[in-house]
Amino acid sequence: MKVTILANYAPHAAKGLMQGSDREAAIKALFESVGGKMASLMFTRGAYDVVVNGEVPDQSAGMGMALAVRASGSLTDLVILEELNMKAVLAAANKAAATYKPAG
């Protein structure tokens, strides 16, 4: 499952980053710890400090990774976007739309 992670560093973590913390190695190891693989890491200017793209085996692995990072207190914001199979989503939506009866 492909994921995109958007995050903002907490002040103490930004200080660690300024002091030379190797975030690429840490994030790569994080993905690998759940059987995944980091594809790219970008530090960005704007709404988020960092954008990470990678793959994880399943939702449990992705959410476990997110829970561990949130528990560390190093981020103030963490958003995980999961890539969807849009053909499967549309097939399910069309089945649901064919049977759903709205109120009124």
Q: Say what the pLDDT of residue 2 is.
A: 97
> Which among 75, 13, 84, 82 is positioned nearest to 53, based on CA atoms?
82
State the pTM of this model: 0.86
CATH for 2-99 (3.80.10.10, 3.60.150.10, 3.30.70.920, 3.40.50.720) = 3.30.70.920
Summarised one tens digit per residue, pLDDT across range 31-77 is 999 999 999 999 999 999 999 999 999 999 999 999 999 999 999 99
Domain ranges of the chain: 2-99
Neighbours of 83 (CB within 10 A): 11
Summarised one tens digit per residue, pLDDT across range 1-26 is 999 999 999 999 999 999 999 999 99
Q: Report whether pLDDT(104) > 90.
A: no
What's the CA gap between 86 and 77, in Å, rounded?
A: 27
